[in-house]
Amino acid sequence: MPMKPTSKSRIRSFDLRGAEDLGATTLIVRDHQTAMHDLRQDSYFQPVKDHSGPYDVVLSIEENRLVFRVTNVIGDELPMLVLSLKPYQRLIKDYFMIVHSYEEALREGKPSRIEAIDMGRRGLHNEGAELLMDRLMDKILMDLNTSRRLFSLICVLHSGKALIWR
């Protein structure tokens, strides 16, 4: 199904529930801020069975599941989407390993290492984004950039658990 961005097929507002304590890591805070800004400014997000956008989206983790709550512009709540986080476990763990490596490289002042870490991070985000798009393809259509931002926020939601995953 071809993606035809319109003013209706986008995210109007976005709320991330459960990310109040992000910790102080530079990369996680930057990823959170960038993803939230970009989703509000430039996103392609189109629920398959609804065409009354733009959409208000709430993303949270409940009982170790990823939960999307979506409301259209006329106030209708769309069916809640609940996804298992198991397929993302390795990717999220890798994300926090990259965050740890990035923080070390910053402290050590190694620009070439930071650049290599950023390349790995981009690849990881692409893999996570493609997995999210595949898992939602029959429910929500989105472009790669929107999916990458959402994957970033899935990782951000796990920031409180990062220490136990290392």
Summarised one tens digit per residue, pLDDT across range 17-29 is 976 665 657 778 8
Per the domain annotation, does 135 fall within a domain? yes
Angstrom CA distances, 130 to 54, 106, 126, 133, 163, stand at 23, 29, 6, 5, 26
Q: What is the pLDDT of residue 140?
A: 96
Number of structural domains found in the chain: 1
Per the domain annotation, does 124 fall within a domain? yes
**Residue 153: is its pLDDT beyond 60?**
yes
Domain of 54? 11-159
Q: What is the pLDDT of residue 27?
A: 78
**Token output for 165:** 């995953």
pTM above 0.85, yes or no: yes
> Would you give the DSSP letter of residue 75?
S
Q: What's the rounded mean pLDDT across residues 110-131?
A: 94
Per the domain annotation, does 47 fall within a domain? yes
Per the domain annotation, does 5 fall within a domain? no
Task: Please state, as a whole number, how many other Cβ atoms lie within 10 Å of the Cβ of residue 26.
Answer: 11
